[in-house]
Amino acid sequence: MIHSLRVENIALIDQLNIEFSAGLNVLSGETGAGKSVIVNSMNLILGERAVREMVRAGKEKAFVEAVLYLPEEVAAPLFAQYGIAPEEELIVSREVSTAGKNVCRINGNAVNLSTLKGFMDHAADLLGQHEHQSLLHPENHLALVDSFGGRQIGALKSLIAGEYQKLNGLLRRQKSFGGDPAERQNKADLLRFQVDELQEAGLKEGEYEALMQERAVLSNAQTIAAALSAGYEILYAAEHVEASVLSTIKSVMDELSAIAAYRQEYDELYRRVEESYYALEDAAQDIGKEAGRVSFDEQRQNEVEDRIELLNTLKRKYQAADADELLHMLAQKQEELDALAHSEELLQELEADIAREKDALYGRYEELHSLREKAAAAISKRLTAELAELAIAGARFEVRFTGVPSKEETVFSAAGPEQAEFYFAANAGEPLKPLGKVASGGEISRVMLAFKSVIAEADSIPTMIFDEIDTGISGHTAHVVAQKLAALTKNRQVICVTHLPQIAAMGDRNFLIEKISGKDSVNTRILQLSGQAAEEEIARMAGGMQTENALAYARELLEHARKFKLGV
**Cβ–Cβ < 8 Å for 86, 75:** yes
Decide if pLDDT at 416 tops 70: yes
Distance CA 364, CA 161 (A): 10
Decide if pLDDT at 442 tops 60: no
Least confident of 60-74, 157-171, 223-237, 247-261: 223-237
Q: Tell me the sheet residues that pair with 423.
A: 398, 434
Name the nearest CA neighbour of 174 among 339, 330, 409, 414: 339
Question: How sure is the predictor about 131, in pLDDT bands with cuts at 50, 70 and 90?
Answer: very low
What pLDDT is attached to residue 458?
Answer: 65
Decide if pLDDT at 546 tops 70: yes
Which of 3.30.470.20, 3.30.1380.20, 3.40.50.300, 3.30.1300.10 is the CATH number of 1-127+442-567? 3.40.50.300
- The distance in angstroms from the start CA to the end CA of the chain is 19
pLDDT in tens, 111-127: 999 899 988 988 888 87
pLDDT in tens, 332-344: 989 888 877 777 7
Distance CA 68, CA 232 (A): 81
Helix axes 298-318, 181-200, angle to 10 degrees: 160
Q: What is the DSSP string of 40-86?
A: HHHHHHTT----GGGBPTT-SEEEEEEEE---HHHHHHHHHHHT---
pLDDT in tens, 94-108: 999 988 888 999 999
What pLDDT is attached to residue 510?
Answer: 95
- Kindly state the average pLDDT of the residues 198-217: 87
pLDDT in tens, 245-295: 888 888 888 888 889 889 999 999 999 999 998 998 888 888 888 887 777
Q: What is the 3-state secondary structure (H, E, C) of 184-229?
A: HHHHHHHHHHHHHHHHHCCCCCCHHHHHHHHHHHHHCHHHHHHHHH
Decide if pLDDT at 229 tops 60: yes
Q: How many CA atoms lie within 13 A of 255 on its CB side?
A: 8
**Cβ–Cβ < 8 Å for 246, 236:** yes
Decide if pLDDT at 504 tops 90: yes
Mean of all residue pLDDT scores within the chain: 86
Q: Tell me the sheet residues that pair with 434.
A: 423
- Dihedral, CA atoms, 525, 526, 532, 537, nearest 10 degrees? 80
Decide if pLDDT at 132 tops 50: no
- Of residues 381 and 176, the one with the higher pLDDT is 381
Name the nearest CA neighbour of 502 among 526, 466, 472, 476: 476
Distance CA 493, CA 126 (A): 12
Distance CA 72, CA 75 (A): 5
What pLDDT is attached to residue 220?
Answer: 83
**Cβ–Cβ < 8 Å for 45, 527:** no
